[in-house]
Copies of this chain bind each other. A is one copy, B any other.
Amino acid sequence: MRTNSDDPDAFTVTGASEAAEHRRSIRNYAPEPIPESDLRELLRLAGRAPSAWNVQPWRFVVVQSPALKADLAAAAYGQQQVVRAPATIVLVSDMVDALARIPESTHPDMPQAARDSTVESVRDTFASQSDEQREAWGNAQSNIALGYLLLLAEAFGYGTSPMLGFEPDKVKALLGLPAHVRIPALVAIGYPAEEGFRPHRLPAESLADFR
């Protein structure tokens, strides 16, 4: 986490609302690596996001090797934030693995009979869907964890740049990922070396309707 030892009042983790208010996309990063403990803690906390039936389809491939980052950038239309950032997180949705692990995902405080019937009903639900429906579902659920990750990274003092512009098949080939997975986003992450553009959003009152 970003700390400033010269400032006795420095905080390490900011509030959620400040993080939401101030976060902006960062495309230039300082060269310092992020401590692996911070990356692991961020991903652990992002994985606290809820998902329907607790399916947790998200997986994370953290790319830090300079050679692999260069290849990843090439699969992302040359976007330089992939190489400029000390790490780029490839967010992966893997419904095959997630469904295989449903017995592990069901709550251990539930009685065994209830756990068994939950496992069966979740698998039945997805078995009746097409591959496309199931993978789209996992992709969408994984974005709940992406929202967590972006907000948490900002609160930890890191800049991020989520990207949708990449060739999924090339990224899968590069990382040895199976064909059935989806890649909801790449997320460059590191210490910001630029201010970034101020965020611009539609007026909040135009998006909410109270009944």
Q: Which of A1-22 contact B (CB under 8 A)?
A: 13-17, 19-21
Is A152 engaged at the interface, CB distance under 8 Å to the other chain? yes
CB distance from A136 to the nearest CB of B (A): 5
Is A52 engaged at the interface, CB distance under 8 Å to the other chain? yes
CB distance from A6 to the nearest CB of B (A): 22
A135-165 toward B: CB 8 Å interface, digit per residue (1/0)? 0100111011111111110111000001011
The copy count of this chain in the complex is: 2
Q: Judging by beta carbons under 8 Å apart, are B15 and A109 in contact?
A: no
User: Which residue of B13, B107, B146, B154 is within 8 Å of A144 (Cβ)?
Assistant: B146
Task: Given A43-B207, A64-B210, A65-B211, answer yes or no on A48-B109 (Cβ-Cβ < 8 Å).
Answer: no
Distance, CA A49 to CA B143, complexed state (A): 11
Q: Judging by beta carbons under 8 Å apart, are A43 and B208 in contact?
A: yes
User: Which residue of B20, B54, B61, B150 is within 8 Å of A209 (Cβ)?
Assistant: B61
Count A interface residues, CB 8 Å: 76
Q: Judging by beta carbons under 8 Å apart, are A15 and B211 in contact?
A: no
Residue of B with least CB distance to A45: B20
Q: Judging by beta carbons under 8 Å apart, are B207 and A60 in contact?
A: yes
A67-111 toward B: CB 8 Å interface, digit per residue (1/0)? 010000000000000000000000000000000010011111100
5 A-B pairs, CB-CB below 8 angstroms? A14-B16, A16-B155, A59-B208, A63-B211, A104-B202
> Given contacts A16-B155, A52-B164, A146-B147, could you give 19 more A-B pairs where the C-beta distance is less than 8 Å?
A13-B15, A13-B16, A14-B15, A17-B45, A21-B48, A23-B48, A25-B50, A40-B204, A40-B208, A43-B207, A43-B208, A47-B202, A49-B150, A50-B150, A50-B162, A54-B201, A56-B207, A144-B150, A145-B147
10 A-B pairs with the lowest CB-CB distances in the bound complex, closest first:
A147-B147, A16-B155, A44-B204, A143-B143, A140-B140, A16-B16, A20-B45, A52-B164, A144-B147, A60-B208
